[in-house]
Structure 1
Amino acid sequence: MRVAFAAVLALTLTACGADRPQTSAAPAPTAAVSVKPPTPNYVMKDGMKYGYPAAISEDARRAGQVAEQLIMAMYAGERDGRLQAHIIDGISVTALECERPCEYLKVMSYVDIDGIPPQVKVEHIAAAPGSIGRLIMDDAVNGFLRQYGTGDEKGPRYSVWVDEIKGIVRTKLPPVKTAVAPAS
């Protein structure tokens, strides 16, 4: 009986490998996958401000609000591997900051009043997919936002950055070069 079992087992193992041709372990060809390039998340652009739709709260809906309001953000740029965008509402400033791949945000809020030292409130939150902070930072990472500066064409221009200790830090930018028409 043992001899018969061993013979059947040997035949089964040999038969399992006998049908298959010996080939190298090359990967099987895969179908081409089309990768859709990213598109901006903002729904409106007004100068250097980018608009992102805010969900309507249940209280606002009960009060009769039917259209989404837009949160307008301005891109401050990138420094030392950190991206930053600002949401300015009057004298209230909220700066969103992250490092790539922007899974977490540092949120700095304060009031910008001349003569009063800034008291910056700092929070750290997850950049949840679909959240306004994540949408803004995804646009920054994908190169859809242009850096803003303050000042005008006639005077000095400054880049703007929020520091949790110093508040707004302005750095002078080089003058904007304008194209000069060739002499006739």
Structure 2
Amino acid sequence: MSLVLLAAACGRQQAQSVEESLREARSAHPDDAIAASNAGNARAREIASELLGSTSDKHEGAAIIFLGFHTKYAESLPKACSAVGAPIGKLATRFAELNKDSYDIALAFPSATATLERNRSSIDRAAQDELARMAASWQVDDRAACQFLEDNFEEFAKNASFAAVNPRAQQLLNQLQRR
């Protein structure tokens, strides 16, 4: 699920549940929902598909994909928010806690960590772009967008799900966890 769509939903009315707000946001802004989920993740999905299709070890490909995703939300987005004076430490910490098992599995692949390091600047740019999209969508500056993320950290951390973005890669990581 896109953080842009989730944030739009959370910002509607505090009295409503997140699920009710999400339904409202999707129906009120169907084009935004499509844009948020497709435009922001299109290249990531393309790369993921290539990795899972061409890597001799599909588990290794899943690890590479996961580490990019994890780095974006646990490191790069917090770095972008800190740069505008609105740290999101609670969100980053909770996201990392919820993804710890997959993270530990992914780190076991040296090629995944090497790929991550080679692509870190691209991941940082992707996080900055996502922050800019969120801020523009909410018609606020980057600092206010980061503050909103931090204020609603639990909902965002739970809904920034790797399984929703790339269920096949998550399935492959889960297979390793059971071994």
Shared fold (TM-score, shorter chain, > 0.5): no
Question: Which has the larger Rg?
Answer: 1
TM-score w.r.t. length of structure 2:
0.26
Q: Which one has a larger percent strand, Structure 1 or Structure 2?
A: 1
Q: Which one has a larger percent helix, Structure 1 or Structure 2?
A: 2
